[in-house]
Amino acid sequence: MNPNPKTYSATRAELRPRWYVIDANNLVLGRVASEVATILRGKYKPTFTPHLNCGDFVIVINAAKIDVTRNRRDQKIYFRHTQYPGGVKTETLRQALERHPERVIEHAVRGMLPHNRLGADMLGRLKVYAGPTHPHQAQQPIPWTHPTIEDFLQAEAETQASDEADEVDEADEATETEETTTEE
């Protein structure tokens, strides 16, 4: 007999995406891509729900300095077709890294996400930059470390404390407005 008959399913209101930054300098392409895909899907969270975009935003910096194993820089080939007869275009990983290093990581991550509208929405939360800088300082991204249960409990306590502080502030504002209306 199942002691917990109901499976937990998160709602959209419970989702609070965070911003993480990953430095890809000298990291292996496939390993970075699988970690990024896990973050984008939200599979590391205890509130993971397959039909919702419950993942976080990911900023990957230093994409031009990504590493690969063995001779993949020259042996891995990206294919695309122009939809015209004889329009097959090929490009090695080395050429792709020289022309547009951001697309290499995006292509690797795209293959690890669901191939539907939800996957496209998840991919929209990925921001990749070739250099060490990014324009997302306002979101206060934190460096990615695989979280533990203590991290989740601490984050939940912080959000509850901020929610309670917001409620207290709203109550104070309401009493101030009441006092000003009674004085008039």
pLDDT for 181: 61
Q: How many CA atoms lie within 13 A of 180 on its CB side?
A: 6
pLDDT band with cut points at 50, 70 and 90 for residue 106: very high
Tokens read off for 147: 């979280």
pLDDT tens digit sequence for 162-184: 878 777 777 777 666 666 666 65
Give the whole-angstrom CA distance, residue 20 versus residue 58.
5
**What pLDDT, on a 0 to 100 scale, did the predictor assign at position 153?**
81
Strand partners for 59? 21, 127
Confidence at residue 184, expressed as pLDDT on a 0 to 100 scale? 58
pLDDT: is 163 or 17 the higher one? 17
Task: Choose between 144 and 171: higher pLDDT.
Answer: 144
Confidence label for 6 from pLDDT (cuts 50, 70 and 90) = confident
Asked if residue 149 has pLDDT above 60, the reply is yes
Cα separation, 83 vs 89, whole angstroms: 10
Q: Identify the CA nearest to 128 among candidates 147, 110, 146.
A: 110
pLDDT reported for residue 180: 63
Q: Which residues contact 94 (CB under 8 A, 6 or more apart)?
A: 73, 74
Q: How far is CA 97 from CA 45, 73, 77, 106, in A?
A: 32, 9, 12, 12
| pLDDT confidence of residue 177 | 65
Amino acid making up residue 69: T
| Mean pLDDT, all residues of the chain | 88
**pTM tops 0.85, yes or no:** no
pLDDT digits (tens, 9 = 90+) for 27-75: 999 999 999 999 999 998 888 899 999 999 999 999 999 999 889 999 9
Q: Which of 16-25, 54-63, 149-158 has the lowest mean pLDDT?
A: 149-158
